[in-house]
Amino acid sequence: MTIVQGKLPATRIPADAGVPWNRRTVLAALAAKGIAIPSIVLLNAAPAFAHAAQSPAPHADGPRSVSPAPSPRDADQDVAARGFTDPVLELVRLLRESADMEHASLLQYTYSAFSLKPGYEAIGGYDSKDTASLLLIAIEKMKHLGVLNRMLNTLGAAPQLSPPSFPFKSDAYPFSLNLEPLSREALARYIYREAPPEVFDSKSIDTTDRELAVTICNMLGVSGEREASTYAAIVSVAGEVGRSPDTELPDLTRWIDALRLLEARGREARFNFLKELFLGSDPAFAGHGDVWRLPITDPGYPSYDMISNPTACNGQTSRGSDPVILALTRLGNLQYGTVLLFLDLYFRHHLSTYRSLAITHMMGPVRSVGKYLPRFGAGMPFDAIDVSDSSGLDAKHRLRFVLALLQEGQSVAEAIGPGLPPDYPLSVNLDTIAKLREPDLPKGTGSTTIR
């Protein structure tokens, strides 16, 4: 499977006089172009909706449920310019675009969490399941990504999990998204994205958060008028699909409900958490004074002085060229690529083993390397990994690529030796290889034992 950076090239559907190009064959062509994903979750996201996704729609032989029309709130929002007249093609386009955005966003929060110095790790969310944290926000973004990919799966399209290239640009925001250490400026961008709509509504002059909104807009040099959520367009176009006379199209009602729930759930808590960090009033800052006025090199400053938008492609992972650091960033990329391949398999074949292995590698080696690099001024690149394309083949053939990637990662880790983070789980790749070679392990459609 090829995990690529940035936008995918447009899918060209060849003319063939012998093939009728209807929605079904168009989606089959789109599915063959799909690719693969992190992170701390899909991990926690997918199971919440897996049962609904795999359950047969009611009245399968009768009329389909009609996907809901946009709510009044959805209808009031402007939506992005349309790319296709056909609602199925347009919905696939919007879902893929939104998946890219959610992926970029969750990597941002993960990178900021990794950037924190000892003493501030509660903000990152390590070993914390009860309080707001950067990693918990990343998990929420992964849940969004999970639902978007479930919708693509329901439509017959391939998962959209290719790692974004940073800086990530989108029409949805007036600034680029970057992998950057936590700072007041980074928090301003997070708040601009996460705040409830009324906070940046210029008509809400009496809101208690109006002064905060003005400060953030001035800091970022942006208008208070934010672009409408792409989810509004998704809901609208999904409604068109639901009202289509084509009875072979799927019922998307459950997924629209899930999107609406996820978009609203926890927004206020995320906003309040980020606001406290921005204002320096979070309990983690107690006793440190005004942390954002400290020099970045001060031990009391929350994050390490590290590079933004690192990439191992040309060695730009730190301000130096230490060969051990370069090897660690390559190892991190190999492990991250492994996570993406397992999640791609999970979405395609709905086998919990692949999800469990993705969690193991994300919370083990990826987290270990990601937390270790910042103390050397380096950052986890989350780069794409070039792997031969197997997206059109069955699980057996894709697993061969996974096994090769695991063996590659094991060789890199053993070569680093004493330069590995102290908590790096050196045996994890060997354990995973053994698991994948178990003869009774379900492999997915068209699979056989892997040797």
Q: Is the residue at 137 inside a domain?
A: yes
Do 88 and 164 have their domain in common? yes
CA angle 209, 211, 217 (to 5 degrees): 105
CA distance 67 to 63: 12
Question: Do 298 and 314 share a domain, yes or no?
Answer: no
* Within a domain: 35: no
- Mean pLDDT in the chain? 79
pLDDT above 90 as % of the chain: 43
Which of helix, strand or coil describes residue 195?
coil
Q: Tens digit of pLDDT for each residue in 146-199?
A: 899 989 989 989 889 888 899 999 888 899 999 999 999 999 999 999 998 888
Residues 207-253 pLDDT 10s: 678 889 999 999 999 987 777 778 888 989 998 998 888 888 888 88
User: Residue 244 — φ and ψ, nearest 5°?
Assistant: -65, 145
User: What is the enclosing helix (H) or strand (E) of 29?
Assistant: helix 23-31
pLDDT digits (tens, 9 = 90+) for 362-379: 999 999 999 999 999 999
- Per the domain annotation, does 335 fall within a domain? yes
If pLDDT is split at 50, 70 and 90, which confidence band does 390 have? very low
State how far Cα 229 lies from the chain centre: 17
The CB density around residue 299, as the number of other CB atoms within 10 Å, is 9
Asked which of 141-145, 246-250, 290-294, 446-450 is least confident by mean pLDDT, the reply is 446-450
**Given 275, 305, 335, which residue is the final one in a domain?**
305
pLDDT in tens, 323-362: 999 999 999 999 999 999 898 888 888 889 999 999 999 9
Looking at the structure, tell me whether residues 294 and 330 fall in a common domain: no
Domain match, 173 and 207 both: yes
Task: Tell me: cis bond preceding 167? Omega within 30 of 0 counts.
Answer: yes
Q: Which whole-number Å values give the CA distances from 102 to 65, 174, 333, in the listed order?
A: 28, 16, 19
Please compute the mean of the pLDDT values over residues 64-74 and round it to a whole number: 42
Domain count for the chain: 2
CATH code (residue 233):
1.20.1260.10
7 assigned to some structural domain? no
The predicted pLDDT at position 375 comes to 93
Write b or e for each residue in 360-383: b if 16 or more Cβ atoms lie within 10 A of its Cβ, otherwise e: bbbbbbbbbbbbbbbebbbbbbbb
The three-state DSSP-derived secondary structure of 292-342 is: HHCCCCCCCCCECCCCCCCECCCCECCCCCCHHHHHHHHHHHHHHHHHHHH
Distance of CA 24 to the CA centre of its chain: 28
- Structural domain including 445 reads 309-451
Phi, psi dihedrals of residue 315, rounded to the nearest 5°:
80, 10
Comparing C-alpha atoms, which of 38, 112, 100, 120 is closest to residue 364?
38
Q: Given pLDDT bands bounded at 50, 70 and 90, which one contains residue 126? A: low
35 vs 444 pLDDT, higher one: 444
Say whether both 364 and 254 belong to one domain: no
